[in-house]
Amino acid sequence: MPYQRTWVVNARRSSASNLGEFELGLYAHPAYLARRPAPNLVAELNEHAFVGFDVGAPYTRTLQLGGQPLTREQFTFRSDNDLAQLAAIRAGCGIGACHVALAQRSGLVRILPEMFAPTVEMWVAMHEDLRTTARYRTVFDALTTGLKAYLREPVDERSAPVTRRKRVTRKQSRAVQGRRPSP
């Protein structure tokens, strides 16, 4: 059963779509695990730095680990921003919860998968007033289509590390296009 975020949505004034579910897991960067061995039991997590929420969303209040609720006091690095949490885990600050596919792309190591593997529903919503504006509707439809396709893919196919493109200067770009670089 997926954990659910609680959102108050005025059905008359919005358009929402349930896209599907994704799995969360506990992860750590290999550099962190080189300094501190991976825990084999939930109780051993108390000996580790833990990345998590500060105030948290309603669904974070339902997350449990080994039958015990997760509370903000357990986290040595706290942020309510998912990207900041992911950055902290990638930087080796500790163990934290992350979307399985994102963690695999980042080369993170899964911790205690049999103890923590909740699924979370993904929704996309748009205010009714924006539905008639073509550019907003186009973005909403593209997000819905792309995210549904992403959620249908097996996780292993998404696990390849993301390669970063090399930054190209304006001078290099003009040279490739056959134009003379400006001084």
Give one DSSP letter per residue of 80-118, joined into a string.
Answer: S-HHHHHHHHHTTS-EEEEEHHHHHHTT-EEE-TTT---
Report yes or no on whether pTM surpasses 0.95.
no
What is the average pLDDT value for the chain, to the nearest integer? Answer: 77
> Between these two residues, 83 and 62, which has the higher pLDDT value?
83
Residue pLDDT, tens place only, 54-78:
776 666 656 667 677 776 677 888 8
Is 66:115 a contact under the CB 8 Å cutoff? yes
**Which domains does the chain carry?**
17-124 (3.40.190.10)
143-165: per-residue pLDDT in tens?
Answer: 999 999 888 876 664 444 433 33
63 touches 37 (CB < 8 A): no
* pLDDT for residue 58: 63
Give the pLDDT confidence of 4-25 residue by residue, as tens digits. Answer: 444 445 555 677 888 999 898 9
- What's the rounded Cα separation, in Å, for the pair 124 and 140? 8
Q: Which of residues 130 and 179 earns the better pLDDT score?
A: 130
Which pLDDT does position 161 carry in this prediction? 42
> Residue 89, Cβ neighbours under 10 Å: how many?
25
Band (pLDDT 50/70/90 cuts) for residue 171 is: low
The pLDDT confidence band at residue 102, using thresholds 50, 70 and 90, is confident
